Amino acid sequence: MAKLYFKYGAMGSSKTANALITKFNYEERGMKVWLIKPALDTRDGADIVRSRIGLEATAYAITPELDVFEEFKAAGEFHVVIADECQFFTAKQIDGLRRIVDELDIPVLCFGLRTDFLTHTFEGSHRLFEVADSISEIKTICECGNKAIVNARIDEGGKVVTEGGQILLGGNDSYIAMCHACWKKAIKEQK
């Protein structure tokens, strides 16, 4: 019986590396993987999934208006779906991934962030928390040593940003994973 998995973590927790290692493991066993990512994530190219440690693979870019279920059926025969940066998918697209599991008995593994820089869930993550069969955290740590749960957005001077749009693509230059206490302390000290 196939399942819908949501593996989430803060920035720097190696979510993409985990996704690409999972892809490798399926392919090593002769299985075909449909690797997808949101089209809005163009940091490494429109159709590239790349981890901070250098792993990369070509992916199918999903635009917000695409019906994921229909795209999967038209894409060919695959044994598994792996979705990177799934927080950027729409709720309807997450429902399409759910349909792939339920109606086609194909496992779907989603990797992404739980929350934005203000600790609010993304649309795709929110829906995954509602409909995933399995939810697990990929942990990382704050500079203080505690578990990091906040994706703190930082400016050019390294100060924590508390205003702006929900989506700003970036890596270590724009975000740092922090525990909630250190995040609140940094905000307080900046005022």
Q: Are residues 11 and 93 in the same domain?
A: yes
- The answer to whether residue 112 scores a pLDDT higher than 80 is yes
Average pLDDT over residues 149-153: 91
Domain with 156, as residue range(s), is 150-190
Whether 142 is covered by a domain: the verdict is no
CATH number at residue 11: 3.40.50.300
Whether 145 is covered by a domain: the verdict is no
Whether 159 is covered by a domain: the verdict is yes
Q: Are residues 56 and 9 in the same domain?
A: yes
Q: Are residues 15 and 86 in the same domain?
A: yes
- The answer to whether residue 76 scores a pLDDT higher than 70 is yes
Which domain-ending residue is among 94, 113, 137?
137
Q: How confident is the model at residue 165 (pLDDT cuts 50, 70, 90)?
A: low
Average pLDDT over residues 159-187: 80
Q: Are residues 130 and 164 in the same domain?
A: no
Whether 14 is covered by a domain: the verdict is yes
What is the set of active-site residues?
Answer: 85
Q: Are residues 13 and 38 in the same domain?
A: yes
Whether 161 is covered by a domain: the verdict is yes
- The answer to whether residue 44 scores a pLDDT higher than 90 is no
Average pLDDT over residues 140-167: 87
Q: What is the pLDDT of residue 158?
A: 82
Q: How confident is the model at residue 57 (pLDDT cuts 50, 70, 90)?
A: very high
Q: Are residues 56 and 90 in the same domain?
A: yes
Query: Taking the model in full, what pTM does it have?
Result: 0.92
Q: Are residues 56 and 123 in the same domain?
A: yes
- For residue 169, CA distances in Å to 48, 153, 172 come to 15, 10, 11
Number of domains in the chain: 2
- The answer to whether residue 170 scores a pLDDT higher than 70 is no
Over residues 85-101, the pLDDT tens digits come to 999 999 999 999 999 99
Which positions ≥6 away from 185 have C-beta within 8 Å?
Answer: none
Whether 59 is covered by a domain: the verdict is yes
